[in-house]
Amino acid sequence: MSESAIKEVFISEAKEIIEKLESDLVQLEENEGDQEIVNRIFRSFHTLKGSSGIVGLTSIYNFSHKLENLLDRVRSGDIAVDNSLIDLILGSIDWIRDELFTEKADTDESKSAMNALQQRILEYTGEEKAVEAGEEEETGRAKPKAGVYNYFRIKARFADDVFETGIDPLMIIEDLLTVGTLLTKNVDREQLPALDAMNPERCYLSWDLIIKTLEPVDKINDVFMFVRDRNSITIEDVTASFSGRGRELPQEKRIGEILLEKGIISEAELDAVLKYHDSHKTKIGDIIVKKGLASEKDVKDALEEQEKLKKKIELNTVRVDTNRLDNILNLLGEIVIGQSSLNRIADELDDDKDTGFQLKNALYGLDRITREFQEQIMSIRMIPIGPSFEQFRRFVRDSAHERGKDIKLVIEGGDTELDKTVIEKISDPLKHMIRNAIDHGIEVPEEREAAGKAAAGLVTLRAYHQEGNVFIEVLDDGRGVNLAKVRSRAVERGLLKEDEEASRERLLSYLFHPGFSTADRVDDLSGRGVGMDVVKTNIEELRGTVELKSEEGKGTTIRIKLPLTLAIIDGMLVSIGRNIYIIPLLSIVESMQPKQEDVKTVEGKGEMISFRGEFVSLARLYDLFEIDARHKNPWEGLVIVVESANTRIGLLVDDLLGQQQIVIKSLDNYITRSRSISGAAILGDGKVALIVDIHGLVEDIMDINSAR
């Protein structure tokens, strides 16, 4: 651990604190009276101050100290929360961020920005406070009053059980020597018993000292602060007591608060209950039930919630470098490979023989354990998506203000856990979709009211697990997609003929086309025509899919479906000639053997096959990968219909070999990059199989066909 390493720790801590602060502030704006949030914000600045002080970032230390003071006044109710206060604090956070992470640090520009902010903070806290704060700021500690020596006489008679609080009187005397110089010293040994009667855990000595120092009497008091109560200490000419106000620590949620939040009881009712509780000392839950304010079930639910919160609070964690997890995961991958080769050997053994049967049984058990092991490791890589959602609060607030809209962000399912890498990669696409919702979805308040909606629009971020997949939804209750407009834009771009019929789904799918935008004007927020196609590409890189639903006048829902993990997938093994390829199970719609008459060549579109009433492009994989195949006619081989986003194509293969869990190995640069291949896997018999990247493949096929 070096000092630069400490700084690194600080930088990552500061980043976390700033993110938390932003989310808390936007929440505070929505719930102005929420003391819990104010407490959290106060504590964030408090922590930031302490940490920045340690690493010697004086400017941030001083600045967060001022903010801490400001928040303390908000906490005590001196200063009310309003928009301009929140703007000020957000502005201050921006300054801290610039100072920490950008080139602006320590420039004249940043200094004048800081002065402006401090001036505004002063307007809240008042001159007097600021001067007082200014004094302690320079070094963060009280400075000795220069020039004049003080003399103090100290009589210290320690209680005989002083050692029982971990205090050694000698330590205190030594501490005193750091404050000043000792002039005289008398040790009173009268209480000292004979050696055989002496208890080594007892203190028998007293001191009488005179000390000369430049420090004020407070410093001497400080030294004895911990022993004054239980021991007899006198400091001559000095009577000082400790100042300080009682401060409430943030508390866990009370049951009454939970019921209040749920709207089951009212504030007045809660007050009455609390009064009764103070005078009767009965359990609050019991009082609420007895008074008929809530049913027993409500109270029980609230108690359970409280218990859950407590458990969350007690969570015990270890921080581990993700590289280590990746290493474990890779090793596990090797185990899975080793296991499948064992399985292959076992398959060749005769079942009737005892050993063959026993080996298979043992392998079956081992298989179960590895599967569970894998799930456990995967679950370590999983983190809740909540914080990632929270970071959008600020973004929504700022963008909405900019566009003159009133928008609330609702977050649901923040507990839903996703692979860390997925969460990192999904952040940008999410931002894009939220931006779209703000710009194109939600209307301005007047328009909303005219349409009979609430003035404030809602953007909802929702995450949930379903059938081994994670779903993430971005919903808005805005105007929805204007299909007529999409249609005319599609015709304009030549995607659709003037008189061509197009289903709702097909029209919506145009939104994912590169360069397609229905925005009336281009501005700095969105509407540049890059957007949903990039979102789609990013999601598909994570082996996920995007789906858009919209109802005019009511709103739009974008649903992202993602696999739980990235490193292991369910794959379908297919053979082409002597080669084995793996197709991700997630992308497969169906496999079929077409009739000869179902295969047609369409002008400008290449080979097509009829699949459930629609024509899909046919890709001859042997052709594409330039290898040999057993079957070159679609009606002899098998066609697997796969889907990427809203496009379906059929892949011609020789045969299906079965489905298997696949550990993905990434291909390094020594293999020519192909859009159609996403990686490789080692099979049980040691053979290597390439994994087909359906998204890339579909694009390749589309490119080839459109070039025809």
Partner 1 sequence: MGKYIMVVDDSPTIRVSVEFALKATGIPVEQAENGAEALKKIKALTEKGDAIAMGIIDVNMPQMDGITFIKNFRKDDKFTPLIVLTTESEEHKIQEGKDAGASGWIVKPFQPAELLGVVQRFIR
Kindly list the catalytic residues. 46, 68, 436
* Closer to partner 1 by Cβ: residue 229 or 524: 229
User: What is the token pair recorded at 397?
Assistant: 């607030």
Q: How far apart are CA 309 and CA 314, in angstroms?
A: 9
Q: How far apart are CA 682 and CA 688, in angstroms?
A: 5
Return the H-helix or E-strand segment holding 549.
Answer: strand 545-551
Looking at beta carbons, which pairs linking 652-656 to residues 24 or more positions away fall under 8 Å?
652/618, 652/619, 652/620, 652/621, 652/622, 653/574, 653/575, 653/576, 653/581, 653/621, 654/574, 654/575, 654/576, 654/577, 654/629, 654/630, 655/574, 655/575, 655/630, 656/572, 656/573, 656/574, 656/591
- Chain centre to alpha carbon of residue 91: 23
Least gap, CB of 174 to partner 1 (angstroms):
6
Q: How far apart are CA 697 and CA 273, in angstroms?
A: 66
* Closer to partner 1 by Cβ: residue 246 or 613: 246
**CA dihedral in degrees (345, 346, 347, 351; nearest 10)?**
140
The secondary structure of 76-98 as a DSSP string is: TTSS---HHHHHHHHHHHHHHHH
Q: How far apart are CA 408 and CA 405, in angstroms?
A: 10
Least gap, CB of 226 to partner 1 (angstroms):
5
* Closer to partner 1 by Cβ: residue 51 or 509: 51
Least gap, CB of 282 to partner 1 (angstroms):
25
Binding residues (CB under 8 A) for partner 1: these are 1-3, 5-6, 9-10, 12-13, 43, 46-47, 49-51, 53-56, 61, 65, 68-69, 72, 136, 140-142, 163-168, 171, 174-175, 178, 201, 225-226, 229, 242-247, 249-250, 313-314, 316-317
Least gap, CB of 465 to partner 1 (angstroms):
27
Least gap, CB of 402 to partner 1 (angstroms):
34
* Closer to partner 1 by Cβ: residue 165 or 355: 165
If 0-12 CB within 10 Å is exposed, 13-18 middle and 19+ buried, where does residue 555 land? buried
Contact, 121 vs 87, CB < 8 A? no
* Closer to partner 1 by Cβ: residue 247 or 578: 247
Looking at beta carbons, which pairs linking 613-617 to residues 24 or more positions away fall under 8 Å?
614/648, 616/641, 616/648, 616/649, 616/650, 617/649, 617/650, 617/701, 617/702, 617/705
* Closer to partner 1 by Cβ: residue 77 or 246: 246
User: What is the token pair recorded at 324?
Assistant: 């280590």
Amino acid identity of residue 595, one-letter, is K
* Closer to partner 1 by Cβ: residue 133 or 214: 133
Least gap, CB of 213 to partner 1 (angstroms):
17
Least gap, CB of 251 to partner 1 (angstroms):
10
Max alpha carbon distance in the chain (Å)? 116
Least gap, CB of 310 to partner 1 (angstroms):
9
* Closer to partner 1 by Cβ: residue 132 or 261: 132
Name, in order, each residue with C-beta under 8 angstroms of 328's C-beta and a sequence gap of 6 or more.
Answer: 377
**CA terminus-to-terminus distance, the chain:** 62
Q: How far apart are CA 409 and CA 411, in angstroms?
A: 6
